[in-house]
Amino acid sequence: MKRKTNIWITLGKYLAFAFLLGYLFSFVMYQGYWYPIIDGIKMIPWYGWIFGFILIFFLTLLIHELGHLIAFLIQGVRIRALYLFIFVFFRSETGLKFTIQPKLWYLIGGFVVPDIPIIHDEESYQFMVKKFARSLITAPIVTIAFMLILDFVFLLTVYLHASSTTIGWLFLSSLFTTLISLVYIKTFSLSNQSFYGDFVAYKKIHEDLVFQIIQIVQYRQFSLTEDEKTQNFLYEKLCQTIQEIKLSTSLFHQVFLMQYIESVIYEKMPKIDKISLQIEIYPKNHLYRTLEGLSLLYDIAAYHYVSGQVEKAYLILEQNAKKASQKIDEKQRKYLDLKFRHILNLSYHEKELNNKERVSIGKEELFAPILDLNKLQKESHEPLPFQEWSCPVVLLEIVDENKNITLG
């Protein structure tokens, strides 16, 4: 029933849009405004359409991301970085900087990285969540408002009988802005396991504790100010939530569990027995199919290792190497296997891990301008403290007929 209702709502939206478009077209035709528009279009050279599209694409992208950015700034949250396609503006300890990262061409968009402030208690945490939510909803509003304002300016210039050149360029700007903005508006409501549009994210940050904490914890790692109390509070919040919910096999729940495990492994945070039990019963067979799942399995092996369960940790390493899906990139599979054999003191692979051609960076490359990836990777390759791996040996006392005693 709910699905049928959604279909009717979607159909109603399309019909309303078609009616509005038809009405505007009829009005322009019968009022004689069509001819100055045609004359204006003829004034635009062919290359103007190409450069116009590129310019409008970056302008609409900039307007959208500035919506996020300004919303954070108004609420007193500083910005760590602004990504616009291959262009990155970021703040370091020495001031504002700019860089071009051609490798980020696949981004085809942008995002804002806030500098999450110090959070010591539940009140300041909830306050930060509200600031995050306001930033998420502001950008779509700004995008829609910019589209409507530019469309109105275009119609007004036609009504006031402006020059053909002005009408032509405003028509081009209005057309591309509307088309690109409509694509944005569509993506605001889309989501999958690894992507959430602004409308979906705005709803989830209010309703989904896992999504909420992941946003705060992950963005906090980009902050220029380290604070132990904030780290401890967010870790306690993370642990409390894991114990209160039923962990699913969704990507966000995998990332959520990984946050806890890596805090124990690399940051030496206290281990929670109840969560250890949840890890034991967590369904693992499906994790071999994806890189994220396989990474979690290797983290689980390291978790058992630091807990003193060395044999279990090594067994998981062997299973990971055998069961990992061949669909996962071979370089990434080999890197994970070498890295965890090395840090779990099973075999020595420092030379291979120091070879950048063998090391897989993955999505972390996005944050190369604001994180020292070489330093982080070097730290993650440091072997963990040795754990005792032994088994009892029973010595039997043998007495022969001459009453000689031997051990065997």
Whether residue 55 is found in the same domain as residue 17: no
CA distance 73 to 393: 66
Residue type for 238, please? L
Confidence of residue 363 (pLDDT cuts 50, 70, 90): low
Contacts within 8 Å (CB) and 24+ apart, 144-149? 144/181, 144/185, 146/60, 146/63, 146/177, 146/181, 147/177, 147/178, 147/181
For 156, the token pair is 């007004």
For 67, the token pair is 């919506």
Q: Select from 179, 202, 225 the last residue of a domain.
A: 202
Sequence-ordered list of residues with C-beta below 8 angstroms from that of 395, at least 6 positions apart, any chain: 407, 408
Q: Select from 147, 180, 202 the last residue of a domain.
A: 202
User: Range with the lowest mean pLDDT among 281-285, 292-296, 375-379?
Assistant: 375-379
The model's pLDDT over 313-342, given as tens digits with 9 standing for 90+, comes to: 999 999 999 999 899 888 889 999 999 999
Beta bridge pairs of residue 114: 79
CA distance 185 to 164: 31
Whether residue 95 is found in the same domain as residue 156: yes
Whether residue 85 is found in the same domain as residue 196: yes
**pLDDT of 73 strictly over 90:** yes
Helices 330-343, 291-306: axis angle to 10 degrees equals 10
Does residue 225 lie within any of the structural domains? Answer: no
The model's pLDDT over 393-406, given as tens digits with 9 standing for 90+, comes to: 665 555 555 555 55
Going by DSSP bridges, is the β-strand pair 87-92/95-100 parallel, antiparallel, or unpaired?
A: antiparallel
CA distance 239 to 255: 13
Q: Select from 158, 182, 202 the last residue of a domain.
A: 202
Does residue 217 lie within any of the structural domains? Answer: no
Whether residue 36 is found in the same domain as residue 96: yes
Confidence of residue 361 (pLDDT cuts 50, 70, 90): low
How many domains does one find in the chain? Answer: 3
CA distance 282 to 246: 10
Whether residue 294 is found in the same domain as residue 174: no
DSSP-derived secondary structure for 397-408:
EEE-TT--EEE-
Vertex 86, ends 85 and 91: CA angle to 5°? 100
Does residue 25 lie within any of the structural domains? Answer: yes
CA distance 240 to 260: 11
The model's pLDDT over 147-159, given as tens digits with 9 standing for 90+, comes to: 999 988 988 888 7
pTM of full prediction above 0.85? no
Average pLDDT over residues 241-251: 88
The model's pLDDT over 92-115, given as tens digits with 9 standing for 90+, comes to: 888 888 888 877 777 777 889 999
For residue 115, the model assigns a pLDDT of 92
CA distance 85 to 187: 17
CA 136 from chain centre, in angstroms, equals: 14
Whether residue 103 is found in the same domain as residue 155: yes
Does residue 228 lie within any of the structural domains? Answer: no
Whether residue 27 is found in the same domain as residue 92: no
SS3 221: coil
Whether residue 23 is found in the same domain as residue 65: no
Residue numbers of the domain that contains 1: 1-31
Whether residue 41 is found in the same domain as residue 190: yes
E-strand ranges in 128-241 read: none
Does residue 1 lie within any of the structural domains? Answer: yes
Instruction: Report phi then psi at 114, rounded to 5.
Output: -75, 155
Does residue 299 lie within any of the structural domains? Answer: yes
Average pLDDT over residues 13-36: 62
Confidence of residue 40 (pLDDT cuts 50, 70, 90): confident
Strand order in the sheet with 95-100: 95-100, 87-92, 79-84, 110-114
What is the average pLDDT score of the chain? 84
Whether residue 308 is found in the same domain as residue 366: yes
Does residue 311 lie within any of the structural domains? Answer: yes
First to last CA, the chain: 76
CA 38 from chain centre, in angstroms, equals: 45
Does residue 390 lie within any of the structural domains? Answer: no
Whether residue 253 is found in the same domain as residue 354: yes
Whether residue 14 is found in the same domain as residue 140: no
Comparing CA positions, the residue from 293, 299, 295, 324 lying closest to residue 313 is 299
CA distance 8 to 2: 10
CA distance 54 to 205: 33
CA distance 239 to 237: 6
- H/E stretch holding 100: strand 95-100
Q: How far is CA 335 from CA 297, 350, 355, in A?
A: 14, 12, 11
